Structure 1
Amino acid sequence: MSHWERLAAQSQTHAESDYHKAGYRLVMEQVLYASDPRSRIAYELIVKHRKDYDALLAQLGMHITHNPHMGYVVATPNQYVAEKMRLTETRMALVLRRLYDDKMHATEILAGEAWVDMIELERAYKDLLNRDLPQKAALDELLQAMKRYGIARLEETDDEQRNQVVIRPGIVDVLGETALLQLAAHANAIEEEEVDEAA
Structure 2
Amino acid sequence: MSHWERLATQSQIHAESDYQKAGYRLVMEHVLYAGDSRSRTAYELIVRHRKDYDALLAQLGMTITHNPHMGYVVATPSQYVADKMRLSETRLALVLRRLYDDKMHVAEIVGGEAFVDMIELERAYKDLLNRELPASSALNEQLQAMKRYGIARLEDTHDEQRQQVVVRPGIVDVLGETALLQLAAHANAPEEDASDETA
TM-score higher than 0.5 here? yes
1:38-77, aligned counterparts within 5 Å? 38-77=38-77
1:1-199, aligned counterparts within 5 Å? 1-189=1-189, 191=190
- Ranked by relative contact order (alpha carbons within 8 Å, sequence separation 6 or more), the top structure is 2
Unaligned runs of 5+ in 2: 194-199
Structure 1 runs (4+) deviating above 3 angstroms are: none
RMSD, aligned α-carbons:
1.3
Instruction: Answer 1 or 2: which has greater helix percent.
Output: 1
User: Is 1:66–1:73's contact at 8 Å kept on the other side of the alignment?
Assistant: yes
Which whole-Å CA distance do the structure 2 matches of 1:143 and 1:91 have between them? 12
Query: Shift in Å at residue 161 of structure 1?
Result: 1.1
Secondary structure in structure 2 of the residue aligned to 1:63? strand
Please give the per-residue CA displacement for 1:121-154, whole angstroms capped at 9, x wherever unaligned.
0110111111111111101101100000000000
Query: Shift in Å at residue 187 of structure 1?
Result: 2.2
Which whole-Å CA distance do the structure 2 matches of 1:144 and 1:76 have between them? 19
Unaligned runs of 5+ in 1: 195-199
User: Is 1:82–1:186's contact at 8 Å kept on the other side of the alignment?
Assistant: no
Which whole-Å CA distance do the structure 1 matches of 2:81 and 2:159 have between them? 37
Deviating more after overlay: 47-56 vs 124-133: 124-133
Which whole-Å CA distance do the structure 2 matches of 1:179 and 1:27 have between them? 18
Query: Shift in Å at residue 157 of structure 1?
Result: 1.5
Matched with 2:196 is none
Please give the per-residue CA displacement for 1:6-58, whole angstroms capped at 9, x wherever unaligned.
00011121000000000000000000000000000000000000000000000
Which whole-Å CA distance do the structure 1 matches of 2:94 and 2:188 have between them? 12
Secondary structure in structure 1 of the residue aligned to 2:47? helix
- Percent identity over the alignment is 84
